[in-house]
Every structure is written in structure tokens, then in C-alpha cells.
A = this chain, B = another copy of it.
Amino acid sequence: MFDIIQYAITADSIMKAGRFLYSQGWSPATSSNYSARIDDGHIAITVSGRHKGELIAGDVMVVDLEGRAVQSQARASAETRLHTVLYRMFPDVGAVLHTHSVKATVLSRAIPPGAPLLLQGYELQKAFSGVDTHENTLTVPVFDNTQDIDALAEQVRQWFTDHPEQPGYVIRGHGLYTWGKTMTDCLRHIEAFEFLFDCELETMRARQ
């Protein structure tokens, strides 16, 4: 059993995040899914297929760490396990956001298969928790898109077991996953990633 007040607060933080992320154009056409931790065993997560800029009561359900619906008949997103794998790996993660921007989509398709996106020399890298200089290299793995979510979740688990300090990844032609201790941290990470993706695409064009 979980604390119902904690669910309400957590669901509210997800609804607010949705209004912001949709307004930025990063969650169009009912794409994306968002989650936040209620307690050690419960996660609040968006119900599949909802308009992310208009999330209301009824659009946020509860799942356990295996991704099974708790006290609800609502259908969780097919990608729920991409959220729960992170909560299981990292006990201090409090929020996971998956967005779906034009920049992340285009950039992930422009990167050669097997190669990660490497970001270096940007002051904004310091927006990621634990980074204190622009001289570090941020490594963002690019996983191929697939309808086999369990296999992808396992890929994510393996990669981040080896690189626990990296703050996110992209799926080719699909979008960004990032996380943080709090929803505020996680939203800052999204803003930083989207900024950096935009810079990388602008740079590709400027140096042709």
C-alpha cells in the first residue's frame, strides 16, 4: 500500500511538467510519458495515449517496480518498463521523463549506428548534477528503436550499470529519456539536453 497524499502530490508534479513540456513542443501528438516515485515500491506514471499538455485527474496511474498497474484498470504505456528499470537501478532517482522533440529525433537519426552522441565544451553541461566543468565529455548513448521494450530495457540496464554517472539516452527516431533526484532536477536536465541537441544540429548546418 502507498500513501495517497504522496500519490496526489506526485501526480500533480507530473501534470505540471506535462504542461511545460508540451508548451515547448517536446511532447506533441500524445507522444511521451512521464513518471515520478511515490515510495520504494510505487511509481506514478502517465496513462497511455493522453494529451500531454492537458493532463488532468485520471491521466496519472500507479505501477509497481515491475510495471504492473496498482489499484487501477487503466492501461500503462508500453514503455513503462523503460521507467521502472531506472527506478530499480538507481534508488535515489525520483523522476523519469521521456520526451519526443524534433531535435532529438533528427539528431538521433543523423548519428551513425553504434556511435554515441558526444558533447564537449559547452558551459551548459554544468546543468547536469555532478558536472562542474565544461571540459568533461558527456556521452549520450543512442539505442535503435524497437517495439521489443523488454529487450531495450535490458540494453539500458547494461549500459547504465557501466556508466551510472551519465544522465540520459536517446532512442533513434523516437526521443530522449532522462532522470533526476527530483522533478525539478529532471526538468533542468531536459532543458539542458534540448539546448545541447539544438546546438549540435545548428553546428552541423553552420559548418557544412
Of all chain B residues, the one with the shortest Cβ separation from A188 is: B29
CB neighbours of A124 from chain B (8 A): 28-29, 31, 100, 105
Interchain nearest-CB distance for A108 vs B (Å): 10
Stretch of A36-44, A86-94, A167-175 at the chain-chain interface: A167-175
- Check: A147 CB closer than 8 A to any chain B CB: yes
Give the residues in chain B near A121, CB-CB below 8 Å. 109, 145, 172-173
Other than A121-B145, A123-B174, give 8 A-B pairs with Cβ distance below 8 A: A28-B124, A28-B195, A102-B202, A110-B206, A121-B172, A122-B174, A123-B145, A208-B208
A201 located at the interface, meaning its Cβ lies under 8 Å from any Cβ of chain B in the complex: yes
Interface: A133 (CB within 8 A): yes
Min CB–CB distance A116 → chain B (angstroms): 17
Q: Does A163 contact B (CB under 8 A)?
A: no
In the complex, A71 has a CB within 8 A of chain B: no
- Give the contacting residue for A147; candidates B105, B106, B133; CB below 8 A: B133
* Chain A interface mostly: helix
Q: How many copies does the complex hold?
A: 4
| Interface presence of A203 (CB below 8 A) | yes
Distance, CA A208 to CA B201, complexed state (A): 12
A residues whose Cβ falls under 8 Å from a Cβ of B: 28-31, 51, 100, 102-103, 105-107, 109-110, 121-124, 127, 133-135, 145, 147, 171-175, 184, 188-189, 191-192, 194-195, 198-199, 201-208
Of A28, A122, A172, most B-chain CB atoms within 10 Å: A28
Please tell me if the beta carbons of B195 and A206 are within 8 angstroms of each other in the complex.
Answer: no
Taking a contact as CB atoms under 8 Å apart, the answer to whether B206 and A201 are in contact is yes
